[in-house]
Amino acid sequence: MAAVESNNHQALDPAQISTKAQFGKALTVIREQAGLTVRDVARQLGIPNATVGGYFAGKTLPHPGMTRVVAGILTTCGVDDEVLVEGLIAAVMRVRRSPGRPAAATTVPFRGLAWFDREHAEWFFGREDLIQRLVGRVAEDGGHRPILVIGPSGVGKSSALRAGLAPALRGAAVVVTNPGAQPLSALVDAVAEFGETHRSDRVLIVDQFEELFTTRDNGAVHKQFLDQILDLSRHHTVVAGLRADFYGELARYGEFVTSLEKATVVGPMTSEQLRSAIVEPAKKAGVDLEPGLVELLIQEVSPDNDEGRLPLLSHALRETWQRHSRNRITIADYRATGGLQRAVAQSADAVFASLNDVQQQIARRLFLRLVHIDVRGADTRRKVSHLELIDGRDDAEQSEVLDRFVDQRLVMADADGVMITHEALIQAWPTLRAWIDADRVGLRTHRQLSTAAESWQDSSHDPATLLRGGPLDTASAWAEDHDTDMNSLERQFLAASSQLQKDERDAQRRRVNRLRSLVAVLVVLILLSATLVVVLQRQRADAQHDRDLAASRDLATRSRLLRGTDRAVAAQLALTAYRIAPTPEARASLMDISTEPAVTRLVGVDEVLQGAAVTASGRLLAAAGTDKNIRLWDITDRARPHQVGPPLSGPTDTVFTVAFSPDNQLLAASGADTAIRLWNVADPASPRLVGTLRHAQHTVYSLAFSADGRLLAAGDADNTVRLWDVRDAALISTVTGPTGYVQSVALSGHILAAGSADHTVRLWDVSDPAHAVALGAPLNGPHGTVFAVALAADGQTLAAGSSDKSVYLWHLTDMHNPVQDPKPLATATGWVNTLAFSPRGDQLAAGSSDNQVRVWDLAAHKVVQTLPHPGPVTAAGFLDGDRTVFTAAADGTARLWSLPGGAITDPSNSVFGVAYPDHGSLLAVSSGRADDSVELWDTADREHPVPVGAPLTSPGQPFSGAVTLDRVGRTLITGSRDGSVQLWNITQPANPLLVTTLPGDGALVESFALSPDNRVLAVAGDDHAVRRWDIGDLNNVTALPTLTGPKNYVYNVAFSPDGRTLAAASADTTVWLWDVHDPALATPLQVLDGFHGYVYGVAFSPRGPVLAAGSADKTVRMWNMADPAHPAEVGPPITGPSSYVYGIAISPDGRTLAIGSTDNSVRLVDITDPTAPVDLATLTGSTEAVFTVSFTPDGSGLVAGTAERRVRFWTVDPEQVATRVCTSMGSGLTQAEWRRYVPDRPYAPPC
């Protein structure tokens, strides 16, 4: 170790420094050698005298991360010995360690409230699947657009990006940054770190992206920062982590919509992931965990699926680690920390209690500065510069207080400032919550004062930035009682503001004294007072309006995110958002609910539901699970179910299975306590226990009644199926054969099926239950435990669901030789837990541990519905034919789903054409091309559209996808790929008759239009022309002159409301207009240009002289057609879609424009005033491209054909959707749910 000769010739050895006093003495020796004063050093470094003086006096130490300060002091004092500098920095870190803390060599595998960084990657476990997905996203989307990683606070985004993704990108140049208080500077510094690295290897990770929106800014910095991110993403790979509640803030920047829609969502960790995050670091550190500790931790984290608990777990683990001994962590160690709920609070309280009275007041002031009070949502942490913390009076004491909290990792400090280590502390430390809640208004006033003071300092004390009038009065009134809460800058700023106001008022007073008329003075004062009242009222109203808009947008975003996990809650939040303020985001979120199946919640318990069943009558539902009780629900009115009587008790352990007898009289339930209990439920309000079947000594996993209700089959954990006669509670026989637990049984006719843990399904003939006969060999195929089996009602099809995430099907025409479908149904990403056939056997519902129920169309081998849940699905079945599905899930809630919802799911290919007549509910649908079919549907009930007749197939070449109906709904018109057109008589829609086929010219038909008088048919196609036919008499159709001119395909045509003008959209990037008032003498009018891509759609307003056209250049343009020979473009081009505009439509009242895009959205725009179009909503219910849109004849609905092989319906009146939500929701939002999602408003559920 190097030594420096001091003035008194004593050697300085940093290795000997062990206290703050020794460190201060060493610095003083070096300063005196350099002949500098404390003030000289402070001035050179730009650090307050008191702060630097504390270092030299040995009272305080620089905080972790402030190594640049130590180096700066030494450089100022002329020290250039790198070894000495490093030695003194090491001395700071050594002295800072508190007594009792593990030595530096001791490994601490848990990070507490701090995130895992790249250097901690070896200790980071549990997020392997997420990291793999992110690496794939980087490979797929890098260099195209920013990749967003979105999740709630406390879900582990920062650790996943820093300790997961960054190290996983081996060979790449990775830089990690966050916006901080100076976003633009942070970005410049981050890019500079890349140096000359080849661009394809550059990955910029921007953590805590939401910090951008919590900085003080007028919006310009936000936009500049986001523009630079977009520009960087074209040459680098940019990955950004964003807190979910700031989704709405970023969504305001249209360029980020695609990134938001493709965002990777980070959800709560599963039980297995939590287990890995707990066990693996301890194992790596060579420490054992006491049996039961892991299960206890998982249980305390998981009950409410509350993602905010993860940092609390991390802190509890770190504190538990500090207490362990003998290489073993015990439950007692964990309990000593205060547990998950109290560990953070206990740590913070311990530090706080160690402070004296003065220091405790300093701690309160410090933490209140470190919190951002946000009226729009939950409070967040705030990074505060060291200068802001200086109050000029007790800086040394403050540094000591800060040291204490930094040592416990509750606060983090670096050269740029100080911040709370994790936002979880804000909610988890009651003392801090009490400080905040005691004066939220005052805290916001203080924060506004701090911001204004910083602006004053940044502007070199520009008087224009000082406070005046009401804001100054508010700040001064607050300061009277909070002098000690202000720092020196804030005091100076307030004093300067007060002095300026005093000077200005004195000057005003002198001017007033010069006035001769007292009356004039009084009048002025009265007017000023009145004006002030009006202004204050307006400002108050404006502020409340702004808060409502922000709250509405935020809640709409939460609703949109929840649609993928809990649609019932999402629907109620969407309605709540709309009630707060009808923003476009809230309107869209609410309207999107109408295109999904209505879901009714039956909230029962906060524990896992393991089984559910419904009576054959469909009137009674039973559900049970880990709370050991069975609950009964009267579901006669599907939209208003209610619980019947108290829960049925008796079981002493988890209930895994329930079943009703076919006559609705008997309920059987069993589970881990091995007994099968039977209740008579003929009167559900007064059920009677009528028997208990006891024989097995093992868990019963599944029950099934025979069709006559006399036989009950029970699948047991002793590898058998027991057959019981429920009339006399007698065991008939025990069926053997499986070599693993029997997880599921099913009965159909005389066939018994059982799936077990030995990966097989077995069949028996139980015509004689006393002598069950095995039918053939065990059925193989599954590669994991068979958790579910189901038999179709006709006994001809068997389904089995496995832990290998697949569903297997067998045809049982020959029971001794079942024929297996060669291709399993394999879209689940978790264990398949439950299966149920629809009564007709054409659909199969499969519930799995990936929180989804998938409804399969077995003939088409495709999923027609996906029903999301907040937790693993444990039970499912059909009601009302195939119109209702009931489910139970691990969140303790049963649900009723009304199918198919606002959708037609029959098409087996993309839907290119939809058409209504002018009146009625008959809809024509053409998926065409590969599907080669056209269908007619009765959509009087858009929740349950009904097919009319069988699908039509083309009499010649395949259909092209073009379809329309005449205005009275008596003629169906279809187009083919060879250009031919078919006219069908649908006077009887169920039996269409082909009347005639109009010849084609070999070019595909794109679309049709009919003149208002129902006589002239215009045909757009790939022949660069518009062919026309007079179809007034279907038996005598005559050709009209073909309209030519377009230089490329004609995609769409439309007649004006008066029938005098025909418009055609062409791939030559123009819209062509013809005067067709005399069909035999069509005259070209104009060619409308301005587009930079194919024009796909045109539409005339039914109520005004407006023509709209949509293009592949992502815009829609409108023209005033009052003089068709001289169209005038009106308003600016409508933008917003991030991909091609494919279909457009205008509502019957002419007020609303619908824009369908291949970015999977439908945008609704108010064009009441075409010169100033207003966004109404962006509908995102479709998961794939939207090809065609149309309003229903009455204007109440919107229909779209999509690439997801379905037709979607939206209800466009939000109040109608609100009625639907409230009449079908079942259990409303609980107070706990309200506090979680709408924390800043009093409990006021929307229904």
pLDDT one-digit tens code per residue, 301-337: 754 444 456 777 777 778 777 777 667 787 777 777 7
d(CA 1010, CA 1023): 19
- What residues does each domain of the chain span? 14-96, 127-268, 274-341, 342-519, 604-845, 904-1192
Q: Cα–chain-centroid distance for residue 831?
A: 23
pLDDT tens by residue, 610-626: 999 999 999 999 999 98
Radius of gyration of the chain (CA): 36
| Residue 247 confidence (pLDDT) above 90 | no
Q: What is the dihedral of CA 890, 891, 892, 895, to 10 degrees?
A: -90
Of 134-143, 752-761, 866-875, the range with the lowest mean pLDDT is 134-143
- Which position has the higher pLDDT, 559 or 170? 559
| Residue 217 confidence (pLDDT) above 70 | no
d(CA 36, CA 48): 16
pLDDT value, residue 6: 36
pLDDT value, residue 1061: 97
pLDDT value, residue 99: 37
Q: Please check whether residue 179 is in contact with residue 150, taking contact to mean a CB–CB distance below 8 angstroms.
A: no
d(CA 375, CA 580): 14
| Residue 1167 confidence (pLDDT) above 90 | yes
Count CB atoms within 10 A of the CB of residue 637: 11
pLDDT value, residue 1112: 94
pLDDT value, residue 98: 39
Of 21-30, 124-133, 596-605, 1172-1181, the range with the lowest mean pLDDT is 21-30
| Residue 423 confidence (pLDDT) above 50 | yes
| Residue 825 confidence (pLDDT) above 60 | yes
Rounded to 5 degrees, φ, ψ at 9 are 60, 30
d(CA 765, CA 503): 102
| Residue 832 confidence (pLDDT) above 80 | yes
pLDDT value, residue 1179: 96
Nearest by Cα to 960 from 992, 899, 1003, 916 = 1003
pLDDT-based confidence at 826, cuts 50/70/90?
A: confident
| Residue 1143 confidence (pLDDT) above 90 | yes
- The helix (H) or strand (E) run that includes residue 606 is none
Helix, strand, coil percentages (3-state) for the chain, rounded to 5, are: 30, 30, 40
Pick the CATH number of 904-1192 from 3.30.70.270, 2.130.10.10, 1.20.1250.20, 3.30.43.10: 2.130.10.10
pLDDT value, residue 124: 87
pLDDT value, residue 2: 34
d(CA 607, CA 184): 48
DSSP state of 770: G
Count CB atoms within 10 A of the CB of residue 37: 12
pLDDT value, residue 1060: 96
- Which position has the higher pLDDT, 456 or 845? 845
| Residue 1043 confidence (pLDDT) above 80 | yes
- Which position has the higher pLDDT, 253 or 1125? 1125
- The helix (H) or strand (E) run that includes residue 182 is none
Across the range 188-210, mean pLDDT stands at 78
d(CA 653, CA 672): 5
Question: Hey, which residues does 1157 pair with through a beta bridge?
Answer: 1141
Across the range 477-490, mean pLDDT stands at 79
With a CB cutoff of 8 Å and minimum separation 6, the contacts of 954 are: 932, 974, 976, 982
Q: Quick one: CA dihedral 154, 159, 164, 166, positive or negative?
A: positive
Nearest by Cα to 27 from 47, 64, 53, 49 = 53
Q: Which residue has the tokens 């007619």?
A: 936
pLDDT value, residue 391: 62
Of 96-110, 124-138, 460-474, the range with the lowest mean pLDDT is 96-110
Q: Which fold is adopted by the domain 274-341?
A: Helicase, Ruva Protein; domain 3 (1.10.8)
Of 127-141, 277-291, 654-668, the range with the lowest mean pLDDT is 277-291
pLDDT value, residue 713: 97
Q: Please check whether residue 1151 is in contact with residue 1125, taking contact to mean a CB–CB distance below 8 angstroms.
A: no
Count CB atoms within 10 A of the CB of residue 191: 16
Of 112-126, 395-409, 480-494, 1182-1196, the range with the lowest mean pLDDT is 395-409
Q: Helical H runs in 581-654? A: 584-593
User: Which segments within 604-664 are labelled E, that is strand?
Assistant: 609-614, 620-625, 630-634, 642-643, 655-660
Across the range 1096-1123, mean pLDDT stands at 96
Per the document, the length of the chain is: 1247
pLDDT value, residue 392: 56
Q: Please check whether residue 192 is in contact with residue 220, taking contact to mean a CB–CB distance below 8 angstroms.
A: no
Of 3-12, 69-78, 210-219, 952-961, give the range with the top mean pLDDT: 952-961
pLDDT value, residue 378: 60
What average pLDDT does the structure give for the chain? 86
Across the range 459-466, mean pLDDT stands at 80
Helix-helix angle 310-323:293-301, to 10 degrees: 150
b/e map 1130-1169, b = 16+ CB within 10 Å: bbeebebbbebbbbbbbbbebbbbbbbbbbbbbbbbebee
Same fold, 604-845 and 904-1192: yes
d(CA 402, CA 1193): 68
d(CA 847, CA 787): 11
pLDDT value, residue 9: 32
pLDDT-based confidence at 512, cuts 50/70/90?
A: low
Q: Please check whether residue 710 is in contact with residue 727, taking contact to mean a CB–CB distance below 8 angstroms.
A: yes
d(CA 609, CA 888): 6
pLDDT value, residue 541: 75
pLDDT value, residue 105: 36
Of 40-49, 163-172, 263-272, 860-869, the range with the lowest mean pLDDT is 40-49
| Residue 1095 confidence (pLDDT) above 50 | yes
pLDDT value, residue 141: 73
Of 114-128, 290-304, 1186-1200, the range with the lowest mean pLDDT is 290-304
pLDDT tens by residue, 697-747: 889 999 999 999 999 999 999 999 999 999 888 999 999 999 999 999 999
Identify the CATH homologous superfamily for domain 604-845: YVTN repeat-like/Quinoprotein amine dehydrogenase (2.130.10.10)
Q: Which fold is adopted by the domain 127-268?
A: Rossmann fold (3.40.50)
pLDDT value, residue 5: 38
CATH no. of 14-96? 1.10.260.40
d(CA 325, CA 287): 9
Q: What percent of the chain has pLDDT over 90?
A: 48
| Residue 64 confidence (pLDDT) above 60 | no
Question: 768-776 long-range contacts, Cβ below 8 Å, gap at least 24?
Answer: 769/711, 769/723, 769/725, 769/732, 769/733, 770/732, 770/733, 771/733, 772/723, 772/733, 772/735, 774/737, 775/751, 775/815, 775/816, 776/815, 776/816, 776/817, 776/818
With a CB cutoff of 8 Å and minimum separation 6, the contacts of 1028 are: 1016, 1017, 1018, 1019, 1039, 1040, 1041, 1042, 1043, 1076, 1079, 1082
